Chains A and B, each alone.
Chain A
Amino acid sequence: MSVAKTALSGMRVLEISAMAGAVCGRVLADLGAEVIKIEPEGGEPFRRSAPLVRTAQGDESAAWLAFNHSKRSVTLDPEADEAGFAALCAGADIVVTDWERLDLDTMDRLAVIARAANPALVWCEILPFGRGGPYERYPATDTVLQALGGHLYLNGDVDRPPVRISLPVGLIQGGAEAASAALMAHWHALRTGEGQRVDISVQACIVWTLLNSTMAWQILGLNEMRGGAIRKERANRFFTRLVWETKDGFVFFGPVGGGGGAARIKSYEALVAWMAEDGFTDPILTRHDWNGDGQFFIPQEDYDAVTAVVVDFIRTKTTDELMARAVSHRILLAPISSVAGVFENPQYRARNYFRPLADPGRGLDIELPARWANLSATPLAPPAPAPLPGADTATILSSLRQGSPA
């Protein structure tokens, strides 16, 4: 099998990580970098992080498996074997680490060794709050950062506490942010020979998911309120329904009051035409220009009245029927997909987003969501099995001793 060229071929990345650093390493590995995990004897703790799945190697972390394919693994204690670590860094372009794996003092000690060995090295740290002052040592987890970044406050039903997203979104976004930032710093190193430290604030990554909330406060003095199925969209003063029960599930749909321009107007017209075909007519459907400039001044009771008519209509359709009509008639709705829904989604399937991974050592034959971008000259590398702990120790360390690349 011929190996296609990749964008980052020839780049070597060292990873001393838990989840966030592994996500960064995986993005770089997909783009073609050689990513070497530096692990303690028996493997890094993230390999055993919940939820676990049973493989031929025993219980392994599903998240670890999802973010560590196509990498190599070296067993090395960088503090005990400074010379070995320095030699690895001398031949590397990027080192990525995160706070769930290393404490700050250890990061600092290792950074000194790494950067002395290689002045062009990019040293990338993923931290809860970034570097600086007393806050860099505050204890933090993904959920704490969803809260401190301002996103958690905005999620959930009004009659219960706000809720987190039930995924470690901050850690994963921090890892992806780190990949882009480390590559930018490498671009600089490539052109100037100058390496540097890059630090990522996961809290700031979460702030970036708010989109317009900090502007809404500054401009309108408005702190938006969370909502479940019904909420104030964008910086609206009125409530609209955004989650609709179908015959067999839920769809997201913002038929009225969204401030989205021509596409929202056409979407609503297509809905009303479809409703008319099925005999759902009501004067309220056309009483206002629901998505035009006047939408901000329509009374709440009218929004509620139009919603009641649309609710009845949507309940008569399955999610698949709704999406098929949406695509053929440009209605702005979407299924609220479960994990299985994403796995089976025809659009992802048509684009070969999922790529097969045969991992005989683990007895796994699965599909990974691996093709997240398409680069015409340098496609993403197809996934290869994640390494067993220390699988490449002998090969890589012996090549270092001989002074040649592995």
Chain B
Amino acid sequence: MNDALSAVTTEASGLFAGLKVADFTWAAAGPIVTKQLADNGATVVKVESFKHPDSIRLGGPFIDDKPGINRSGFFADFHSSKLGISVDMSNPAAIEIIRPLIEWADVVAESFRPGVMKKWGLDYDSLRVINPRIVMLSSSLYGADGPWARHPGYGAQGQALSGIHAMTGWPDRAPAMPKGAYSDSVSPRYALSALVAALIHREKTGEGQYVELSQIEATAQLLAPELVAYQVSGVESTRAGSRKPGSILHGVFPCQGDERWIALEAVTEAQFAALGQVLAAPGDLDAARDKGQDALDDAVAALTLPRDAFALMAECRAAGVPAGVANKASDLLEDDVLNAHGHFWPLDHAEMGRLKYNGPAYRFEKTPSALRFASPRLGEHTEAVMTRILGFDQAAIARFRDKGLLQ
């Protein structure tokens, strides 16, 4: 049995086994939601347009540092356990393929700029005519309406507009850009909660519905305490380096080696005393503390500089002092805790070879999640999905090819 067929027919386990998902999401924020469905057993069919494939296929890192449509690790990580089909969505006849997919599906998910699904005749009002029980999720950067709804953007704009960017960096400098695209990683948690709540409602009542979410609004949930404080007390908090009010010590300090850093914290007197013991200089720390926060931070930095970061973390943990090495990506892949969890899942891909994909941050005791197979190459499962899920015969597929709907 070839890979494509076995992927479609693999007996899925997991709590979403049997759930059917038509997945039009792209980039990161949408695919991370449908990945949770796929890695918990749902049959997720990712629909890509071969004239406009998912743009993160064009984002690095690429295998062998050579760009290519099936070579992006960035794309791969968000597409474990998903089937991929490739259709020319700009051709109005695409509905002949998409309509049976909608009839089949429990969930339709998409993350285009508002208006794209409607242009294809696939907005919720159209979908519910085809399948009244459908639950549709739309996740877009700014939301489906409002003055900026159709403005293009990515998570980097999202983290700026939701306040995360301004809260990162030093108070005496321009805000430092947080790594990544924060709204792409925060919003899926909220989108998934709303989507599963809608599925629970449907399970109880039979009623489908439309779930619409703005990624910046979901991400600004992280700012809720500051928004309350701002209104009640008029105080607008801002970035503070790594300090935190109410702590005796709260910072990031250098260790031995190239770009080795450790986050250390002392909130209680007992923690501060224990840190003094670990750094073998309790008297020095007390004296520096009397001179102020800058002096204390400098004194701690001088003491941590010759230390091995991981050994120091272990000593701090044993002494009850919160401490964390600023892990690099290479450290994460070797991290004892993440590996004891089975956080990384090695999966084999025809063009990319074996790579470790990120698994979920949650674990179910009785219905374990599983990353079943690697991300699909563009159109990898087109034929298998057309025949085994949608029930088309070879003559129909040939007709679709003649019309230019399939590659």
Contact = CB atoms under 8 A, between A and B. Distances in A.
B179 A204 contact: no
Interface residue SS majority, chain B: mixed
Contacts of A204: 338, 341, 343, 360-361
Given A67-B224, A157-B170, A339-B226, A148 B358 contact: no
A348 B163 CA distance: 13
A215 B74 contact: yes
B225 to A, nearest CB: 4
A291 to B, nearest CB: 10
Given A161-B251, A235-B60, A340-B236, A332 B154 contact: yes
Interface string B49-90: 000100100111111010100000110110000000000000
A205 B58 CA distance: 25
Q: Is the interface of A mostly helix, strand, loop or mixed?
A: mixed
Interface residues of B, number: 157
B402 interface: no
A378 B55 CA distance: 33
A259 interface: yes
B201 A377 contact: yes
Contacts of A225: 259
Of B144, B168, B362, most buried by chain A (CB within 10 Å of CB) is B362
A208 B176 contact: no
A177 B362 contact: yes
A62 B225 contact: yes
A176 B174 contact: no
Nearest to A245: B174
B46 interface: no
Given A140-B322, A147-B262, A377-B198, 7 more contacts: A50-B246, A178-B362, A198-B365, A204-B361, A251-B160, A259-B60, A373-B213
Contacts of B58: 259-261
Interface string A161-189: 11111110100111011111101111110
B12 to A, nearest CB: 14
Contacts of A343: 227, 230-231
Contacts of A32: 197
Contacts of B196: 180, 183-184, 187
B47 interface: no
A143 B355 contact: no
A397 to B, nearest CB: 28
A252 B157 contact: yes
A260 B55 contact: yes
Contacts of A350: 145-147
B242 A177 contact: no
A102 B251 CA distance: 26
Contacts of B217: 348, 351, 353, 369, 371-373
Contact of A201 (B250, B254, B341): B341
Contacts of B44: none
Interface residues of A, number: 158
B38 interface: no
A53 B228 contact: yes
B362 A222 contact: no
Contacts of A11: 200
Nearest to A19: B225
B231 A367 contact: yes
Nearest to B149: A347
B367 A148 contact: no
Interface stretch (A80-88, A131-139, A279-287, A299-307): A131-139
A227 to B, nearest CB: 7
A166 B361 contact: no
Interface in B1-42: 15-16, 28, 32, 36, 40
A160 B362 contact: no
B45 interface: no
Interface in B338-374: 338, 340-341, 343-344, 355-356, 358, 360-367
